[in-house]
Amino acid sequence: LHPEPTEVRSVIKDVVEMLKPLADTKALELVVDCDRAPATVYTDSLRLQQIVTNLLSNAIRYTKSGTIWLSCETLGDRQWLLAVKDTGIGIAPEEQSLVFDPFYRAENNEVHVPDSTGLGLAIVSQLVNLMQGKIELKSQLGVGSTFTVTWPLKIQA
Ligand code: ATP
Ligand code: MG
């Protein structure tokens, strides 16, 4: 773990710029709202980037049409939150805790997206843990999903 002062908006901006072309191929709208985000957090910026990349690429992959929202905000005086919300295929209630298991792919994935290995969220969940955060999933089949991560503003090395 390499905690360092990290500019949240710039990490988000880099990931969005990298994945925007992919969202464009599906005509998905990408909305970023980080106005209420902390300017700087003390965290592992490379791992933060990895987490955002995984969550955002899932949102793009599992959404056929509509909008993906990426938002960040400060929570009280010790924490901050990052949320990735989509209008995608959604995940059934009984599978919502399983998607964080290695190699698990939900029923919704019957299309078997090429190259889907089921590892992304397992990695995300390990990294979030390592970074002293918590990840939460809210989802409804056919409506969409929201992954919310809460972290300390300053993580311990
Ligand atoms: P990869 O290893 O390439 O990320 P993956 O996307 O299948 O493969 P995970 O990212 O771990 O693996 O996701 C696990 C499963 O959870 C997916 O196969 C999919 O069924 C479901 N899933 C993940 N994110 C979403 C989402 N935003 N909307 C709907 N289903 C999702
Ligand atoms: Mg994935």
Q: Is the ipTM of this complex over 0.85?
A: yes
β pairing state of 29-36 and 67-75: parallel
- Report the nearest atom of ligand 1 relative to the CA of 123: 11
Per residue in 50-73, pLDDT (tens digit) is 999 999 999 999 999 999 999 999
Burial class for 69, CB neighbours closer than 10 Å (0-12, 13-18, 19+) = middle
Q: Could you tell me the pTM of the whole model?
A: 0.96
Ligand number with the minimum distance to the CA of 119: 1
- Say which residues have a Cβ less than 8 Å from residue 21's Cβ, sequence separation at least 6: none
CB 86 near ligand 1, within 6 Å: yes
Helix-strand-coil percent breakdown of the chain, rounded to 5? 35, 30, 30
Instruction: Verify whether ligand 1 is closer than 6 Å to residue 88 (CB atom).
Output: yes
